[in-house]
Amino acid sequence: MFLGIDVGSITTKAVILNPDREVEKSVYLQTQGFPILAIKLCLEELKDFITQGEIKAVGVTGSGRKLASVVVGADVVKNEITAQATAAVCFNPDVQTVIEIGGQDSKIIILRQGVVVDFAMNTLCAAGTGSFLDHQARRMNLSIEEFGRLALLSKNKVSISGRCTVFAESDMIQKSQLGYAREDIIRGLCEALVRNYLGNLAKGKEILPPVLFQGGVAANPGIRKAFEDILELPILVPPYYAVSGAIGAALVAEENYAGKPSCFKGESIFETEYTSRGFECKDCPNQCEIVEIFQNKKKVACWGSRCEKWNM
């Protein structure tokens, strides 16, 4: 078995892959600002596999991959682009474009013959990400599932600004006050956010089929339909789209497995206390932001230093 963990800003995901590259079990939890706790809770869900000593190798990815690597004892640490591309190619070896939209960022990955040839990430604007869509659904007193389905019921196009979350929300409120149907407003938002994604990330890139849509937002049928309408291409959604990053991390761990014992800490993770602290080093003009990780009050990792002062 191979374990993959994806620690994002909004959610933390983990999967167990069997030797046939099939998902034995997956976990999807809210990070809620406590990534170490989220990692532990994910592993609790997978405890049966861990206690039986079935994990041969562990891969981690996501914005919290450094932290995850220290907590679990990872064998492989990979960036999100590599992890998402690896998962996409496993699902469809012919994939040429990957659209990935998560809780707080967006990515586009261009592949040719299974190799990444170009990519772009947007971590500066929340427009179109899962957190923004969740916020709009709550504001309209809808579940995120209802929110996405309502867009498919729209009969009329409504123009919504999608270049900024503030403008988009203001535009939605104004259209609602003018009497536009709720489903038309939601459809307009989905189309605006897709145009914003394509204008920011896909500009100058050749989007060729097959196109895979991964990440939590792939569950939103309104966004999927907007991509299909604007691109005039079919959009494929893998079965485990929400945990694709964790799948990719597990696949990379498998690819790098050479029969050696894993660095995985196993059951000891559940009894171990992990804490962290951050501070700004003022010893030189660099003013580096340093993060220290402690395992049972003993410092086990440190990063953020531009010199060797804080290196371990």
Query: What band does 164 get if pLDDT is binned at 50, 70 and 90?
Result: low
Q: Tokens at residue 16, please?
A: 């167990």
pLDDT at 308: 76
Concatenating the DSSP letter of every residue in 233-279 gives S-EE--TTGGGHHHHHHHHHHHHT--SPPP---TTHHHH--EEEEEE
Q: Assess if CATH 3.30.420.40 describes domain 2-83+246-271.
A: yes
CA nearest to 145, candidates 220, 89, 207: 220
CATH class of 93-237: alpha beta
Q: What is the pLDDT of residues 33-46, one digit of tens each?
A: 889 999 999 999 99
Mean pLDDT, range 92-111, rounded to an integer: 91
More confident residue, 231 or 151: 231
More confident residue, 300 or 84: 84
pLDDT at 116: 95
pLDDT at 69 over 70: yes
Contact 2, 55 (CB under 8 A): yes
pLDDT at 101: 87
Residues in the chain: 312
pLDDT at 33: 83
Q: What is the pLDDT of residues 250-268, one digit of tens each?
A: 999 999 998 888 899 988 8
Tell me how far CA of residue 20 lies from CA of 2, 16, 27, in angstroms.
10, 11, 19
What predicted TM-score, i.e. pTM, was given to this entire model? 0.88
pLDDT at 236: 96
pLDDT at 139 over 90: no
pLDDT at 125: 60
C-alpha 65/C-alpha 85 separation (Å) is 17
pLDDT at 163: 67
Note the Cα 203 to chain centre separation in Å: 22
Mean pLDDT, range 72-82, rounded to an integer: 94
pLDDT at 27: 95
Domain ranges in the chain are 2-83+246-271, 93-237, 274-303
Common-topology check for domains 2-83+246-271 and 93-237 = yes
Mean pLDDT, range 204-215, rounded to an integer: 94
